[in-house]
Structures are given as structure tokens and as C-alpha cells.
Amino acid sequence: MSDPRKGPFHLTNTLTRKKEEFVPLRPPHVGLYVCGPTVYSDVHLGNVRSFLTFDVLYRWLTHLGYKVRYVRNITDVGHLVGDIDEGEDKIAKRARLEQLEPMEIVQKYTNGFHDVMRLFNILPPSIEPTATGHLIEQIGMVERIVKSGYGYEANGSVYFDVPKYAEKYAYGELSGRKIDELITNTRDTEGQDEKRSPLDFAIWKKAEPQHLMKWPSPWGEGFPGWHLECSAMSTKYLGGTFDIHGGGMDLKFPHHECEIAQSVAADGVAPVRYWMHGNMLTVNGRKMAKSEGNGFTPEELLTGNHKLLDKGYSAMTVRFFMLQCHYASTLDFSNAAMQAAEKGLERLMAALATLGKLKPGAGNGADIDALAKRCYAAMNDDLNTPVMIAELFEGVRIINSVNDGKMSLSGPGLEQLREIFQSMVFTVLGLKAEQQTTTADDAAMSGLVQEFIRMRAEAKARKDFAASDGIRDRLVALGIILKDTKEGTTWERA
Ligand SMILES: [Zn+2]
């Protein structure tokens, strides 16, 4: 990079389990692929943390001057309940329960996902491909795997031959699993008789007659295996081998391990140079999941309307809370930690407002250049946001000292401090000032929201629940929460 202050960027590569200097294949271009959501239900806060991790990576690489092509997919078919090879498709199941077309489910939850991403100021990717939009590429990949001898057809399905692959390649290298242990630990499941080994996984599945989502293929009507779409779409847009692949820790095995095997078997090259995995969000030490009853939706979080929440928290407070922890560590959610984050963010934003008003003085009371260098060093050290935020609070101390007249900064020093705060707080951490409005704004706002409440009531009256839910969700995305009470619908700001 041209600016020596920016220095080399290091990140922990899951594949080698080492912190490595990041050197892109084709600088200044960087190819980044991140596993996106399976769009069959509302996004919860644990999902938000994962996407936030890669948002910061995307922002940082861009800030360093790289031209990033960021691909994040939408899984809209092939992900079966229980993450296994047999059973119902998650989206088809939801469609049956909600009595909708599978594609209505896909649209509804894709919209919801985008609203939540916007709410938390998570930037959209450069390309957002869908699995159903890339059936041809996936079928092509299955054909190449069969042709190379690592896939076999059985009764209209095609399976990946893991033991055969493992004879030549290092299956388990990403997740650290050993093939012998995997064999001992694999339990028998339905459809096992079709597989040559219990370790084999489906790359194409035959569709039963009642199956809702199916496509013609050389093996009959069916649908792609869950791991296949990411292999097909990442290499289509980023090349046979690309720079960084990210995802949540829980995707390391089998999903990412299978992605490597598929690409190597189909095209003879390892797909990814740096694998990056974000850690989980826990609540009282337990993984956040809908099934645990601790998976807050963003709406519940903003209103405080959940038994585990003392009060509501703003989206930026949540973002700041998450950034105060390194992405590779588990982060435990608690009301005390959220309230501390809320106070911390207020102090940071207040200091930024003060910084705008400071006047240059005679002396240089603080070494701002060293502070800037430490901010860069922290981010270059595997995206160490907690250390960078601690450096910003050192900056807050300087700002307040200058404001109190205890210290003075020269014009250039002040300018540099403003520049570092602007870029680190807004561009890199992606925080934004939350709206403060005047009384006149409030009156206009109230009128607008009342208008939306009226439109939503009309939609409900004509039983157009897609429209009424849509209005509510879009208001949530704007930080407006509706509450249905006996007296009618009321609203409040998040
Ligand atoms: Zn994936």
C-alpha cells in the first residue's frame, strides 16, 4: 500500500491455524466470499454478529485501498432440516407451514434480512447470488466431480465419495477432523443404503414426487446438495482460487470442508487461500439459537420486549457492543455489558461532537501520529477492533483535555485527530450518529408514522398480511417499532 502508515494486514487463517500476512492473488483486487443466510426465518442477533465480522473485514480492506469483490450468497434451496442429507428442505417446510409458495418465503425473508443488515449499517455485498439462480453451474460442477471419479450416482442422487477423495487429498484439513474418527462417530441415517460410505455427502438429491423445489438434471428431477452452491458460485465470480472465504465457526465442518473437497475434485485446485471464521454470540454461556429461546430478533432487542432483556437497545449500541470483542472470541450477551456499551458509545459520540468545535492552540500536548499508528496496527493485527476502540478512548481523553484547557493541539495535530476519528469511527467501525430531531421534525414524523399505521390497518382488513408485515418490517428497519394494543396501534422509536 502507498501509505506506509497503513502497513501489512495480518489475519488468522483457519486452514493453517496461524496469523499470516495477507497477500492477495491479484492486487489491488481482493476476492471475498461469505456464506449468507438460508432465508426461511427471521435473522437473529447471532447471525448479525457473523455478518458484522465480515462487514468490518470488507470495510478494512477497502480502507486499505484494495478493490474488493465481495460475494455473499442467499441460500434459497437445498438446505435440509437438521443440516443432513435426508429430510425436508428448510424453505419448503416453512412454505408448507405458512401456506405460501417457496419463492414467497424466499422473498419475504430475503427482504427481512436486508432490512436487518441496513438497520445495523452492514454494507451490501458487490454480488448477492442465489442458489436457485445458479442451477446450471451446480449441475456442471456435479458432472465434473463424477467425471473425475469422486462422485457416483445412486438411485437418481449423486454422492461425493469421501474415502476415495481422502486417499489422495487431505479431507479434514480445515476442521482438523480425522477420517477414522469421523467413521466411528457417524450414526446411521435414512438413505444410508444409497451411500457407499456413511461419510459421503449428497451433491445432488433426487426429488420425491411431493417435493416442491426441483429441477431437471442428467440424473432426473432433483435439487443440489447444500454445500454445492457455495463452491459453484464463489468460483464463478471470484475464480478457481480466490483470496478469502468467511463464515461462522459452525460452518467449518461439514460445510466448508465439503466446499474444499468439491472444488478440488471438480477442478483440481484448492478454492481458497485464507479461510476466516467468526465466533458465536452466547447468552449466559449458551449459543444463541431460536430453539434455545434466547435468539432475540432485532425487533425484540430494540423494544426490550423479551424476558431476558432489561430494556431496549439501539442498533448502534449493539454494533458497538459486538465490536468491543475480537471476532474470533465468543461474546456473551448480558444486560450489564449492553448498558456499559451504551455509555461507552455515548462518550465516544460526545467526544466527536466536541472534536468538531475545538480550536487549534500553540503546543502539541499529545502525539497524534503515534495514536493513528496504533489504530492502524490494531486493525492490521487480525482486525483487533477492541484494541482499536481502546485507542480511540485514548483519543477521547485527549479531546476532553483540550476542551477543558488542560492541553493544546496545533492545527495539524487537531486535523489529524479529526481525520483518524472520522475514518475509524464511521468508515471502519461503521458506527453512525443516531438521529436527534427537533419538535417540528417530531410532529412531521408522527404524522408520517400514523399514515403508515393506517395503511397497515387497511392491508390487515383486506387480509393482505404480506403487505401489513412488510410495512411493519420497513418501519423497524427505520427504527420505528409498532405495538398492537387493545386501544389500537402505538409506536415508539427504537
Ligand atoms: Zn456456504
Domains of the chain, CATH where assigned: 10-278 (3.40.50.620), 307-428 (no CATH), 439-493 (no CATH)
How many CB atoms neighbour CB 421 within 10 A?
20
246 C-alpha to ligand 1 centroid (Å): 9
Comparison of pLDDT for 80 and 11, the residue scoring more:
11
- Gap from CA of 226 to ligand 1 centroid (Å): 8
Rounded-to-integer distance, Cα 174 and Cα 453, Å: 51
66 C-alpha to center of ligand 1: Å? 24
Q: pLDDT for 445-488, tens place per residue?
A: 777 888 888 889 889 889 998 888 888 888 888 888 888 877 67
Confidence check: pLDDT of 290 > 70: no
The average confidence (pLDDT) of the chain is 91
User: What pTM does this model have?
Assistant: 0.86
- The residue that leads in pLDDT, 370 or 188, is 370
User: For residue 67, is pLDDT > 80?
Assistant: yes
Most confident option among 75-84, 361-370, 419-428: 419-428
Let me know: does 413 contact 404? Beta carbons within 8 Å.
Answer: no
Rounded Cα distance, 103 and 106, in Å: 5
Local confidence band at 224 (pLDDT 50, 70, 90 cut-offs): very high
Ligand 1 centroid to Cα of residue 267, in Å, is 18
Pairing mode, strands 151-154 and 157-160: antiparallel
Percent of the chain at pLDDT > 70 equals 94
Contacts by 342-351 with C-beta closer than 8 Å and gap 24+? 342/313, 342/314, 342/317, 344/320, 344/393, 345/316, 345/317, 345/320, 345/431, 347/393, 347/396, 348/320, 348/392, 348/393, 348/396, 348/425, 348/431, 349/431, 349/433, 351/395, 351/396, 351/399, 351/400, 351/421
Cβ-proximal residues to 117 (8 Å cutoff; 6+ apart), any chain: 51, 124
CA of 277 to the centre of ligand 1 (A): 12
The CA 265 to ligand 1 mean position distance, Å, reads 17
Can you tell me the distance from the alpha carbon of 131 to that of 488, in angstroms, rounded to the nearest whole number? 42
Most confident option among 84-93, 177-186, 254-263: 254-263
Looking at residue 13, what is its pLDDT?
A: 98
Of 433 and 272, the one with more pLDDT: 272
Mean pLDDT calculated for residue range 285-296? 77
pLDDT for the residue numbered 450: 81
Contacts of 388 (CB under 8 A, 6+ apart): 375, 378, 379, 424, 428, 429
Write down the pLDDT at residue 2. Answer: 44
Q: Band the pLDDT of 268: cuts 50, 70, 90.
A: very high
Q: Which residues contact residue 194 at a Cβ distance below 8 angstroms, ignoring those fewer than 6 apart?
A: 154, 155, 157, 159
Residue entry with cell 396501534: 489
Cα 83 to ligand 1 centre (Å) = 12
At 449, the amino acid letter reads: V
Q: How does DSSP classify residue 251?
A: G
Mean pLDDT of 142-160: 97
Instruction: Please compute, for residue 292, the number of CA atoms within 13 A of its CA located in the half-sphere on the CB side.
Output: 15
C-alpha 256 – ligand 1 centre gap (Å) = 7
| pLDDT tens sequence across 352-410 | 999 999 999 987 789 999 999 999 999 999 999 999 999 999 999 999 999 999 999 99
Highest mean pLDDT among 207-211, 328-332, 486-490: 328-332
Cα(366) to centroid(ligand 1), Å:
47
* DSSP 8-state secondary structure symbol assigned to residue 426: I
- What is the mean predicted confidence (pLDDT) over 410-415? 94
Q: What share of the chain is helix, strand, coil (3-state, %, to 5)?
A: 50, 15, 35
Rounded to an integer, what distance in angstroms lies between the CA atom of residue 217 and that of residue 226? 16
- Burial of residue 148 (CB within 10 Å: 0-12, 13-18, 19+) is middle
Place of cell 431460536: 290
> What is the structure's pLDDT at 1?
41
Over pLDDT 90: what percentage of the chain? 68
Q: Return the pLDDT at 437.
A: 45
Interval between CA 300 and ligand 1 midpoint (Å):
28
- Kindly state the average pLDDT of the residues 156-177: 96
Which amino acid belongs to residue 204? W
Helix (H/G/I), strand (E/B), else coil: 19: strand
pLDDT at residue 365 in the model: 81
Q: How many CA atoms lie within 13 A of 461 on its CB side?
A: 6
Beta bridge partners of 154: 157
- Is the pLDDT score of 344 beyond 80? yes
pLDDT score of 90: 85
pLDDT of residue 440: 57
Q: Looking at per-residue confidence, does 218 or 449 come out higher? A: 218
Beta strands 29-34 and 242-248 are: parallel
State the pLDDT at residue 341.
97
Q: Could you count the other beta carbons within 10 Å of the beta carbon of residue 307?
A: 7
Ligand 1 centre and the CA of 302: distance in Å? 29
